[in-house]
């Protein structure tokens, strides 16, 4: 009996995942992703201190498609890399917690590919490793991506590049002397799942 129950659940879930996405106009999308992270700017005018060394990022997105071409998204990203002085590693790592919302424009093609771009705003919490001197700063964000929906399912894969611009200041220790605006980027690959709702789109 228990086996039959789990079998019925599997059939229902399978049917839900496999339903065609082309017939849906609106959806909630869930994405998890991970990849690399680094800054493109220096921490001081001479350019002797920076976070340009490549680190890593992991994060996720919850998005709501308002129609085929416009969506609202909320993101959370954790990123971390190491401070460099005169291009030498220091062993001083900085954790960042980015949280933001953005307006996304996209163009879903019949082939399953969807290029998109987005712009938004939020905040970043800067948390030096081994310190209790975390600071939260306002941040602007923008990015580009390319997603692919697996035919006949609501599952997808994709790649995305995203940047943040924020004021770096008010930290202690190795970072106390720096107060220059930072531009930092992530590049990621991810998995997505789309939950359709609303009326069917006109074909």
> What's the pLDDT score for residue 174?
85
What are the distances in angstroms from CA 61 to CA 28, 64, 73, 110, 141? Answer: 10, 10, 7, 24, 14
The per-residue DSSP string of 54-100 comes to: -EEEEEEEEEEESSSSEEEEEEEEEEEEEEEETTEEEEEEEEEEEEE
Closest by Cα among 84, 89, 96 to 47: 84
What's the CA gap between 59 and 36, in Å, rounded?
11
Which segment of 5-19, 98-112, 167-181 scores lowest on mean pLDDT? 5-19
Q: What percent of the chain has pLDDT over 70?
A: 85
Return the residue matching tokens 């917690």.
Answer: 97
What's the CA gap between 71 and 86, in Å, rounded?
43
Average pLDDT, the chain: 88
Higher per-residue confidence, 88 vs 13: 88
> What's the pLDDT score for residue 132?
83
Q: Which burial class, exposed, middle or buried, applies to 12 when counting CB atoms under 10 A from its CB (0-12, 13-18, 19+)?
A: exposed
> What's the pLDDT score for residue 109?
94
Q: Are 120 and 143 in contact (CB under 8 A)?
A: no
pLDDT tens column, 76-95: 999 999 999 999 999 999 99
> What's the pLDDT score for residue 12?
38
pLDDT tens column, 161-177: 999 999 999 998 889 99
> What's the pLDDT score for residue 58?
98
> What's the pLDDT score for residue 25?
66
Q: Which fold has domain 2-198?
A: Porin (2.40.160)
Higher per-residue confidence, 19 vs 180: 180
What's the CA gap between 176 and 11, in Å, rounded?
58
What's the CA gap between 27 and 154, in Å, rounded?
10
pLDDT tens column, 111-150: 999 999 999 999 999 999 988 889 999 999 999 999 999 9
Tally of CB atoms within 10 A around 20: 11
């Amino acid at each position: 009996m228990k086996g039959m129950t789990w079998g019925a659940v599997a059939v229902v879930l399978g049917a839900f995942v496999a339903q065609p996405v082309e017939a849906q106009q609106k959806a909630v999308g869930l994405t998890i992703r991970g990849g690399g992270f680094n800054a493109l700017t220096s921490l001081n005018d001479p350019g002797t201190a920076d976070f340009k060394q490549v680190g890593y990022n992991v994060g996720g997105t919850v998005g709501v498609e308002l129609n085929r071409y416009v969506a609202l998204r909320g993101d959370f990203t954790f990123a971390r890399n190491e401070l460099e002085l005169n291009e030498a590693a220091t062993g001083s790592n900085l954790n960042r917690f980015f949280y933001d919302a953005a307006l996304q424009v996209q163009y879903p093609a019949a082939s399953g590919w969807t290029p998109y771009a987005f712009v938004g705003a939020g905040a970043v919490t800067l948390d030096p490793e081994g310190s209790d001197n975390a600071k939260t700063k306002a941040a602007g964000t923008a990015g580009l991506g390319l997603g692919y929906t697996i035919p006949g399912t609501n599952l997808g894969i994709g790649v995305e590049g995203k940047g943040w611009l924020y004021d770096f200041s008010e930290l202690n220790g190795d970072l106390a002397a720096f107060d220059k605006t930072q531009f930092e980027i992530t590049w990621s690959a991810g998995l997505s799942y789309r939950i359709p709702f609303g009326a069917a789109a006109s074909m």
